[in-house]
């Protein structure tokens, strides 16, 4: 099939899912066209079935805010026409589902039909989308998509609670390429470059927005390192990085905390890791936790949103109430206390990820694209 993918090109989870999905579809012979303002960070052009079309927003002195949706919908029309795309898969409702709806109407005027699949990822519903500023347009564009998917049962439930949705939302979990992680286990992991042999390694990966509660990450680590010699790796960039650095300095633990910035080598970093910390305020699924689990890393997280659908309490890690920093530290210590317990959790985490394999999830998306044409 010929599929257009609209997404954010950044390190955020929705962009990562969209990019990995597009690359996997291209590997299966589908023609994939990414339409976004920058080349997606995880996109590698090893397949000739992959194309990238940049949306450029022209500056004009009158514009206080650049009208990205307008530029995006015009670009979608151009690319659908030029490449005869059959389906547009838009990731993150704001503003992508809205721009896709507008493009669809413009194409209709030209006698061209294209179907729109919208995938809801999380904050497009929970934090931003339901805000009165956007709610009307988000609800409209969800209801006017041909197919709507959400990344967890919890997100589906939340969407139906916050909006008047007139269609069934299909749940399709985030996925991982299990094979990629298997290959990683075969490679030598140079752990000694990061920590001493007797030290454990804790990791956190995010875009450091307030919803990720990076200060809780630091507080949990502070409690853990009092009992267990360990190092903390923080990967990512975002508004709360400075707050996190200040707290590290205040607690005098800077020798044991490494801020590594953004990285597209997440698998390599995760190979060092024993525990992944995700104390989020809300998390529709938690792709970062799934990636960590695939790399044999136990997860300590909150029990918010879709996290209990991914992180199984007492099996792949532990769940705690939001803000229960001491509880999360206690759980981490109970996993890290001896090699046997840690080894069991690591194996269990890795085994649990098989149900989220690319192999299982990709055909579900393909079926959805095909189903668009039966309606």
**151 vs 292, which CB is nearer to ligand GMT?**
151
Taking contact as CB under 6 A, which single stretch among the options 13-21, 313-321, 337-345, 354-362 is the one that binds ligand GMT? 13-21
Among residues 230 and 353, whose Cβ is nearest to ligand GMT? 353
Q: Which of residues 274-303 bind ligand GMT (CB under 6 A)?
A: 280, 282-287
**CA-to-CA distance for 5 and 100, rounded, in angstroms?**
10
Nearer to ligand GMT, 19 or 282 (CB): 282
* Strand pairing class (257-261; 275-278): unpaired
Residues 160-189 touching ligand GMT, rule: CB under 6 A, are: 174
Least distance between ligand GMT and beta carbon 91 (Å): 7
**Closest CB to ligand GMT among 72 and 80?**
72
Task: Look up residue 341 and give its two tokens.
Answer: 């317990």
Q: How far is the CB of 17 from ligand GMT (least distance, A)?
A: 5
State the minimum distance, in angstroms, from the CB of residue 122 to ligand GMT.
2
What number of chain residues touch ligand GMT (CB under 6 A)? 20
The nearest distance, CB 145 to ligand GMT, in angstroms, is: 16
User: Residue 213: left if φ>0, alpha if ψ -120 to 50, beta else—which one?
Assistant: left
Site for ligand GMT in 65-94 (CB under 6 A): 92
Cα–Cα distance measured from residue 44 to residue 23, given in angstroms and rounded to the nearest whole number:
8
Q: Is 13 in the site for ligand GMT (CB under 6 A)?
A: yes
Cβ nearer to ligand GMT, comparing 33 with 91 = 91
What's the min distance (Å) between Cβ of 205 and ligand GMT? Answer: 10
Given the structure tokens 């956190």, which residue do they identify?
A: 204
Which is nearer to ligand GMT, 207 or 320 (by Cβ)? 207
User: Does 12 sit near ligand GMT (CB under 6 A)?
Assistant: yes
Cα 278 to the center of its chain, rounded Å? 13
Q: Give me the sign of the Cα torsion angle 325, 126, 128, 362.
A: positive
Starting at the edge strand found earlier in the chain, the sheet holding 257-261 runs 257-261, 230-235, 200-205, 275-278, 298-302, 317-320
Please identify which residue in 89, 121, 346, 350 interacts with ligand GMT, judged by CB under 6 A.
Answer: 121
Q: Are 195 and 231 in contact (CB under 8 A)?
A: yes
Q: Which parts of 189-228 interact with ligand GMT (CB under 6 A)? A: 207, 211
Residues sharing a CB contact under 8 Å with residue 167, sequence separation 6 or more, in sequence order? 143, 145, 148
- Which has the closest alpha carbon to 327: 313, 343, 310? 313
CB of 31 to ligand GMT, least distance (A): 24
Reference 305, options 283, 336, 327; nearest CA is: 283
Contact between 353 and ligand GMT (CB under 6 A)?
A: no
Q: Which is nearer to ligand GMT, 4 or 286 (CB)?
A: 286
Task: Tell me which of 3, 5, 6, 14 binds ligand GMT, using CB under 6 A.
Answer: 14
Contact between 150 and ligand GMT by CB under 6 A: the answer reads: no
Interaction between residue 123 and ligand GMT (CB under 6 A): yes
Residues that bind ligand GMT (CB under 6 A): 12-15, 17, 92, 121-123, 151, 174, 207, 211, 280, 282-287
């Amino acid at each position: 099939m010929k599929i257009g993918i609209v997404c954010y090109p950044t390190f955020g989870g929705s962009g990562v899912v969209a990019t990995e999905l597009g690359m996997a579809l291209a590997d299966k012979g589908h023609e994939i066209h990414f339409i976004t303002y920058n080349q997606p960070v995880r996109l590698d052009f090893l397949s000739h079935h992959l194309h990238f079309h940049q949306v450029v927003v022209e500056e004009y002195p009158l514009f206080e805010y650049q009208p990205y949706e307008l530029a995006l919908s015009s670009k979608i029309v151009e690319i659908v026409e030029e490449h005869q795309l059959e389906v547009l898969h838009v990731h993150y409702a704001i503003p992508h589902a809205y721009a896709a709806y507008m493009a669809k109407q413009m194409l209709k005027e030209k006698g061209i039909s294209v179907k729109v699949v919208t995938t809801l990822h999380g904050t497009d519903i929970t934090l931003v989308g339901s805000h009165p500023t956007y709610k009307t347009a988000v609800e409209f564009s969800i209801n006017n998509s041909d197919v709507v998917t959400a990344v967890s049962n919890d997100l589906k439930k939340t969407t139906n609670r916050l909006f008047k949705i007139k269609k069934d939302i299909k749940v399709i979990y985030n996925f991982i390429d299990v094979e990629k992680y298997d290959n990683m286990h075969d490679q030598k992991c140079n752990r000694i470059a990061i920590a001493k042999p007797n030290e454990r390694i804790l990791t956190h990966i995010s875009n450091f927005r307030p919803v990720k509660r990076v200060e809780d990450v630091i507080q949990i680590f502070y409690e853990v390192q009092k009992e267990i010699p360990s190092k903390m790796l923080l990967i990512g960039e975002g508004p709360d990085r400075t707050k996190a650095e200040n707290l590290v300095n205040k607690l005098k633990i800077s020798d044991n905390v490494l801020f590594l910035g953004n990285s597209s080598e997440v698998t390599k970093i995760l190979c060092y890791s024993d525990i992944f910390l995700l104390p989020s305020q809300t998390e529709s699924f938690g792709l970062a936790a799934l990636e960590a689990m695939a790399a044999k890393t136990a997860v300590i997280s909150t029990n918010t949103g879709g996290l209990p659908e991914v992180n199984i309490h007492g099996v792949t890690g532990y769940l705690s109430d939001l803000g229960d920093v001491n509880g999360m530290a206690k759980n981490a210590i109970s996993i890290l206390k001896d090699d046997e317990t840690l080894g069991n959790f690591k194996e269990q985490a890795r085994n649990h990820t098989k149900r989220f394999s690319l192999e299982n999830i990709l055909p579900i998306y393909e079926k959805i694209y095909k189903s668009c044409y039966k309606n």
